[in-house]
Amino acid sequence: MGSNRSPAPLGPARSHLWLLVGAGTVAGLVAGLLVGATKGIPGRPQDEPSARSPVTVGVVSEVLEGSVEDWDFELPVFNATAAPVDARLVAFEGASWRVTSGKAESLAAGTWGKIPFSVAANCDVLAPGPMSSVRLRVQTRDGASVTALALPGQGLALRDYHRAVCASADPLPASKLVGVWIVEKVYGPDTYLVGIHLMRFDRGGLFVADPEGGLYSEDVGVRGRYRLEGELLTIDVTSGYGCVAPSTATWRVTVRDDRMSLVWVRGDCPSGEPGDAWVIRRVLHAGGLPRSPG
């Protein structure tokens, strides 16, 4: 790098070869700059697939608003082909649960869509670890194929669901329930309750719940009694505008610090099916609870 010597003169053949090599190098540099500039275009997905894969996927998330078919999760999918495609979820690597999948149908070229799906957690096996890939069945104009794709986020939302539904439940003293709780997550049809539905457990077995914060008024969504038997929490509704009294619901309950998992077992208010669960968070401890009417 520090030499001041002049280069030796090139003969005609070597000069011609040097020009060819130089032209190729410049072309390569220009191509590299164009590719780099393309990747830096604002709004362009940075994880679009290679030419070998017709689609790519994003991070699994919960369906925050109840869907028509009560799907619990959704998987973003990007169509990298020049024609519409259909895509359906087949399975996640390392997870033994059963997947029920909807379809991203007629997904336009160069656009993102979503595959809605639900899973049935298998609590007889260990919780899945980070999931590095997912398999999709993709229908293109050239035919159908099953392809494995890298999974961003490693299925964290699904692992959280498995922990909520399959948490090991120890015998729980009723004193652990006493206080006010708010619904933080819902796996099942009642997602509209997230962030608004309050539940109050009083000493002595009184239970009150309301989606409008009316825990200390006469007009509440649900009023009744609760009882705890081992890991099973049963709520008997005696009045309120939210349920037809008398009605009941039984949950399998697990408390970890200030969060409680309620896994639906049976009942008619709310009704449900296996795998439905609520995660509720404590917002007020037992100490200093004002007296509730009734």
Task: Indicate which CATH number applies to the domain containing 125.
Answer: 2.60.40
Does residue 197 share a domain with residue 159? no
DSSP characters over 272-285: --TT-EEEEEEEE-
Q: Answer yes or no: is 156 within a domain.
A: yes
Q: Answer yes or no: is 14 within a domain.
A: no
Q: Answer yes or no: is 43 within a domain.
A: no
Does residue 204 share a domain with residue 113? no
Does residue 181 share a domain with residue 116? no
**Rounded CA separation 195/185 (Å):** 8
Q: Answer yes or no: is 40 within a domain.
A: no
Q: Would you state the pLDDT for residue 146?
A: 94
Q: Answer yes or no: is 89 within a domain.
A: yes
Does residue 264 share a domain with residue 180? yes
Find the CATH number of the domain harbouring 266.
2.40.128.20
Does residue 202 share a domain with residue 147? no
Q: Answer yes or no: is 219 within a domain.
A: yes
Does residue 157 share a domain with residue 114? yes
Please list the pLDDT of the chain residue by residue as tens digits (294 residues). Answer: 443 433 444 444 433 333 333 444 334 433 343 333 333 333 334 444 444 689 999 999 988 765 556 788 999 999 999 999 999 999 998 888 889 999 999 999 999 999 999 988 777 777 788 999 999 999 999 899 999 999 999 999 999 888 888 877 666 788 889 999 999 999 888 888 999 999 999 988 999 999 887 777 778 899 999 999 988 999 999 999 999 999 999 999 988 878 899 999 999 999 988 889 999 999 988 765 556 555
Number of structural domains found in the chain: 2
Does residue 212 share a domain with residue 122? no
**Rounded CA separation 129/251 (Å):** 26
Does residue 131 share a domain with residue 214? no
Does residue 155 share a domain with residue 120? yes
Point out the domain boundary residue: 164, 198, 216. 164
Does residue 178 share a domain with residue 265? yes
Query: For residue 261, which of 231, 287, 226, 236 has the smallest C-alpha distance?
Result: 231
Does residue 239 share a domain with residue 206? yes
**Rounded CA separation 208/219 (Å):** 10
pTM of the model: 0.69
Helix (H) or strand (E) holding 190: none
Domain range for 229 is 169-284
Q: Answer yes or no: is 8 within a domain.
A: no
Point out the domain boundary residue: 149, 164, 179. 164
Q: Answer yes or no: is 20 within a domain.
A: no
Does residue 219 share a domain with residue 157? no
Q: Where are the beta strands (DSSP E) in 151-246?
A: 179-187, 198-201, 206-210, 222-229, 232-239
Q: Would you give the end-to-end CA distance of the chain in angstroms?
A: 90
Point out the domain boundary residue: 114, 145, 164. 164
